[in-house]
Structure 1
Amino acid sequence: MLARQRQEVILDEIRRTGAVQVHTLVTRLGVSDMTVRRDLDVLAKRGLLEKVHGGATSVIGRSTDEPGFEAKSVRALPEKEAVSARAAGLIRPGTAIGLSAGTTTWTFARFLADIPDLTVVTNSIRVADVLRHAGRSDRTVVLTGGVRTPSDALVGPVAVQSLRSLHLDMVFLGVHGMSDSAGYTTPNLDECETDRALVEAGGRLVVLADHTKWGVVGISTIADLEEADVLVTDEGLPDDAREVLRERVGELVIASVPAVAEADQ
């Protein structure tokens, strides 16, 4: 069994029971104790589980928990890149798009390099910085004003007013969590109002959310599930979540994460 296959088994078990034990996984997977611990290390670094003594548990946070940008930027990175690559294929040259703040949209910004004649509106200093360093003369980047948050998002009445005067073809929204009951959510009340204004400015809403966001609920709802014209996620999304989302979003797009073979020591 390849490392990726083992890790999917581990994640499936955590989703089902909430926790796994190393000695149980050794028996189930038929590998060494060290191999299991290495797999848990990989998944923990990607933010997909929490390591504890003798095993691991699911990642469950409070509705206002918000890890810093640097911590979130390395979580589920292969999934974010796969989602970003698929989402970039939705954009046509000459389009005006909006990008919310966050590590997923920051990753997504790097996939816009080959799309000509774009106008990009964002309240993310990080996203604007990625696009500025690309040095493209055929791209216009509009950075909203506002108060800067710890995650380098610009929020508040200045940002909201700026967005309400704009009309964008598409908006790409990164979220902290998504669920059947709460929709797309954020743990940051200041950012929520700005995100809502960005959503309202767009003709079409594309939500970018890897599978680890399912079942996570932040304190404030940005939009209901039905408001997404397209939801781009990855193949790790559980079957029950796929069923819910196919019924409630305009289009569910599942991105494939390239398999990376990891040799066992």
Structure 2
Amino acid sequence: MLGDDFLHERQLAILNMVANSPKINVSSLSKELGVSQVTIRQDLRTLENNGMLKRFHGGAMPVSDDDMMKRLSFNFEVKTAIAQEAASLVNNGETVLIESGSTNVLLAVELAKKSNITIITNSAFISRYISGMNNVKIILLGGDYQHESEVLVGPLTRKCLKEFHVDKVFIGVDGFSPNTGFTCVNLMRAEVAHAMAEQADKVIIVTDSSKFNMLGVASQLQAEDVDMVITDTNISAKDLDILKSFDIEVRSV
């Protein structure tokens, strides 16, 4: 189990640096983060024990070419700002649905800093990532396990979702267009995202602005089904106007 210090910026920074480097040594991490090599070794040991990275003598490397770790490191600071804005919408004691995706991983980290939060998710990665935080309850939905992204999908996942109703759901996307709405690269994950939206009063998309230049193969949600989009300030004026034309509240950070 990860300790409370897992949520310090240092551990997140280590994961980000390791994900962006084939191999990185302890001395480099120590110098970059301004802490002792002993502290770095302790962090690396904890992260390795939880499957986040692999240690070697004098350093660390990514545990694999895992898709989630790569996406987590891309636009890391932007995604963190988006996650913090999304977390500000959630009150202590609230239960929320969180779909898979790199920004949602960071959202879960922010929510775990609050008091008495319950997170319902189909992401085994998220569940594992914040497993050591005692002030957050995690409900992991059942279903068919997709190894690369560590998510659960399929009919059983959708059936489990019908047992819950929440005020807010947070969904990540892979693309958007006015005609197709919000899209995903995986059909089964798109189906789960749609099922989650049906069980929430407020549907919130969390995504960096790069996704507005992309298009996934599977439709997740029509624009009319979305209440809010939280993104970064690099979103184009055109995309901003399109979202607002669908009465979507947009928060850019």
SS at match of 1:214: helix
TM-score normalised by L of structure 1? 0.68
| Mapping for residues 205-220 of structure 1, pairs under 5 Å | 205-220=203-218
SS, match of residue 169 in structure 1: strand
Listed as ranges, the matches of 1:116-265 within 5 Å are 116-136=115-135, 139-149=136-146, 150-255=148-253
Count residues with an aligned counterpart. Answer: 188
Could you say which residue in structure 2 is the equivalent of 1:69? 68
Aligned with 1:252: secondary structure?
strand
Offset at residue 133 of structure 1 (A): 1.8
Aligned residue type for 1:172: F
User: SS of the counterpart of 1:231?
Assistant: strand
1:106 and 1:235 map into 2 onto residues whose CA distance is 21
How is 1:14-163 mapped onto 2 (pairs within 5 angstroms)? Answer: 68-136=67-135, 139-149=136-146, 150-163=148-161
**Structure 1 residue matching 2:150: 3-state secondary structure:** coil
Instruction: Please state whether the residue corresponding to 1:97 is helix, strand or coil.
Output: strand
Larger Rg: 1
Query: What residue identity is the alignment partner of 1:95?
Result: E
Between the aligned partners of 1:68 and 1:244, the Cα distance in structure 2 is: 30
Superposed displacement of residue 104, structure 1: 1.2
User: What CA deviation, in whole Å up to 9, does each residue of 1:143-168 have, x standing for no partner?
Assistant: 00111112011001111100022111
Identity score, percent: 26
Give the partner amino acid of 1:147. Answer: D
1:190, distance to aligned residue in structure 2 (A): 1.6
Partner AA of 2:84 in structure 1: A
TM superposition shift of 1:114? 2.8
Where do 4+ consecutive residues of structure 1 move more than 4 Å? none
* Shift of residue 204, structure 1, vs aligned partner: 0.8
Measure the CA separation in 1 of the matches of 2:227 and 2:158: 22
Cα deviation code 1:65-122 (max 9, x no counterpart): xx92222121111111111111111111221100001111011111113321212100
Name the SS for the 2:71 alignment partner: helix
In angstroms, what is the RMSD of aligned CA positions? 1.5
Work out the CA distance in 2 between the residues paired with 1:93 and 1:208.
20
Distance 2:179 2:103 in 1: 23
The one-letter amino acid of 1:182's match is: T
Bigger RCO (CA 8 Å, 6+ sep): 1
1:210 to 1:245, Cα distance in 2 relative to 1, 3 A: same
Give ranges in structure 2 of 5+ residues lacking alignment. 1-19, 21-65
Structure 2: which amino acid aligns with 1:235? Answer: T
Answer yes or no: is the 8 Å Cα contact 1:227–1:249 preserved in 2: no
Relative to total residues, which structure has the larger strand share, 1 or 2? Answer: 2
What is the CA deviation profile of residues 113-138 of structure 1, one whole-angstrom value per residue up to 9, with x for unaligned ones?
A: 332121210000111123322222xx
